[in-house]
């Protein structure tokens, strides 16, 4: 897997937030539509049914504050404190029949996103909704081309998101 923005990309799936394990909540994007996973919420909708995908409650901080929070977590771990789960955020899927939401775990290490990466992720989500999922193949192809490579650095992630969003930068 690799994390780019709000997205967790495996060889065959794209998730908003971390890939869920067991009964934890998750949001999977497919060529057919959107699936909410987990015990709390489950359901699937085709891209034709989707009117919007909103993301809220995402921890976003500038680089210096993000690094300070990650450093604090590392020191806490060295002192023997149990590592905390990554934070949850909220994803709401709106269809012609209403809105349903769930709370996946954040995919990024430390659970805190930079503002540019967050805004570019939202732009990509808008493109996916507007295009009926067109563009997901680009994310999956990138993942397959990079095999077991680690998650790219911040600058590369931002460039990928900008490319995948069709050049739509933060608004």
Task: Answer whether 0.75 is exceeded by the pTM.
Answer: yes
Residues 8 and 10: their CA atoms lie apart, in Å, by 7
The more confidently predicted of residues 68 and 116 is 116
71, pLDDT greater than 80: no
Quick one: tokens of 66? 């993000």
- What is the radius of gyration, based on Cα positions, of the chain? 16
pLDDT tens-digit map of 84-103: 556 889 999 999 999 999 99
Q: In Å, what is the CA distance from 11 to each residue of 107, 123, 135, 138, 143? A: 16, 23, 15, 12, 6
Q: Do 4 and 15 meet the contact criterion of CB atoms below 8 Å apart?
A: no
Q: Do 31 and 133 meet the contact criterion of CB atoms below 8 Å apart?
A: yes
Per-domain residue ranges for the chain?
2-154
Quick one: tokens of 41? 């919420």
Q: What's the pLDDT at 66?
A: 43
């Amino acid at each position: 897997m690799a994390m780019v923005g709000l997205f967790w990309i495996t060889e065959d799936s794209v998730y908003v937030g971390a890939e869920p394990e067991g009964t934890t909540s998750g949001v999977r994007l497919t060529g057919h539509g959107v699936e909410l996973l987990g015990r709390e919420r489950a359901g699937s909708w085709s891209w034709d049914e989707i009117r919007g995908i909103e993301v809220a409650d995402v921890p976003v901080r500038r680089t210096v504050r993000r690094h300070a929070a990650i450093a604090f977590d590392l020191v806490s771990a060295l002192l023997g404190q149990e590592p905390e789960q990554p934070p949850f955020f909220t994803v709401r899927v709106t269809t012609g029949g209403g809105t349903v939401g769930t709370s996946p775990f954040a995919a990024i290490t430390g659970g805190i996103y930079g503002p540019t990466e967050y805004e570019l992720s939202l732009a990509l989500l808008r493109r996916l909704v507007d295009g009926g999922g067109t563009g997901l193949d680009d994310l999956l192809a990138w993942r397959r081309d990079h095999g077991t490579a680690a998650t790219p650095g911040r600058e590369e992630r931002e460039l990928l998101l900008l490319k995948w969003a069709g050049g739509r930068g933060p608004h």
